Chains A and B, each alone.
Chain A
């Protein structure tokens, strides 16, 4: 028990230290790198909380994709760094902000220490009904059966976010290709890494997707991995981002939501409720939804990272 305490205490101390450093460090590029480390450390904390699904998601999205997004942005904003830093608030404001932050953290800490015992839990109810879904992973069962409406709305949020990002396109570039064209030495290290890693990553993603029914994993984690592999091949110059006006791309982006909605509405006549699955067909239907969602998630996440179009569609 004391070893566990030592491991957890050390891990959490590192998380807090990296967090403080990330906020206080002067250079924004360093802060972004700090945030990437922070995301990975936090993934370990999730493992220690026995939430492997959340750990995979945090490592892939919190530590991975968010960092790529922030690094791209911080490099572009480098020229504004000095002007922005000059606007740092004075000592009085900083002390007041610190006092407020400490008050909020202490109040939350008091709540944490005063949580009710025994803790309320929906685990017994999930255990009672999980057999009806044919799945072994309780988290997947919650995501795609018991709370499927949340997951459906989340898929919609992702598409809306991408529409909003695309809406920032300047008029003359509408329908063009997002992001810069990456000119990388065709036989350099990066291209070599992309050639080597991408096939492996795709295989791992499909595995993570497939075991998600019974073990930690699933469409989010797999979709994020696929998005990362796609971005790697783009940044290594092996492939280019398609113009956003391409029809196949738009179909791929909404396929997950459309399939999810279609199966959801089919539940009304067949199983008596929206998003209910007919007896005995739950698992195959969930797999179909997950497969379509994985493709949509991969494209949406990748395109969210590269941002609005910056070039005309012609190659």
Chain B
């Protein structure tokens, strides 16, 4: 195992931590945050794979690096849309969570 594997293991851990937060945190905003954490873990795995491909004076394989940059920007736009949906839901219904308004049964829908 070398130093580079540490980055990969860190990425894997971040995906696990984010997944836990996504399932357990009831606040929708915390779920969005946790989902972003999963995303950044995936990006970090990409970064490690890119670094492994270092060759010919380049610090890493530029193709996955470019994909990560595109990915970060797209993740941000998806986050912005999710937050806007959440705020609008709150404004329209006063809802605090994603639980179905009919509170009798479990929120299957």
A: residues with CB less than 8 A from B are 1, 4-5, 8-9, 12, 15-16, 19-20, 22-23, 28, 31-32, 35, 38-39, 42, 45-46, 48-54, 57-58, 61-62, 65-66, 69-70, 73-74, 76-77, 80-81, 83-89, 93-94, 97-98, 100-102, 104-106, 108-109, 111-113, 115, 119-124, 126-127, 138-139, 141-143, 146-147, 150-151, 154, 157-158, 161-162, 164-165, 168, 220, 297, 300-301, 304-305, 307-308
Contact = CB atoms under 8 A, between A and B. Distances in A.
B11 A123 contact: no
Nearest to A159: B77
Interface in B64-101: 65-70, 72-74, 76-81, 83-88, 90, 94-97, 99
Given A32-B33, A84-B97, A88-B25, 8 more contacts: A12-B7, A23-B37, A57-B68, A61-B73, A105-B17, A112-B45, A112-B48, A113-B5
Contacts of B30: 23, 28, 31
A80 B96 contact: yes
Q: Which 10 A-B pairs have the closest CB atoms?
A: A105-B16, A50-B59, A121-B53, A112-B8, A80-B96, A108-B12, A161-B77, A119-B52, A23-B21, A138-B62
Interface residues of B, number: 80
Contacts, number: 292
A62 B83 contact: no
B9 A112 contact: yes
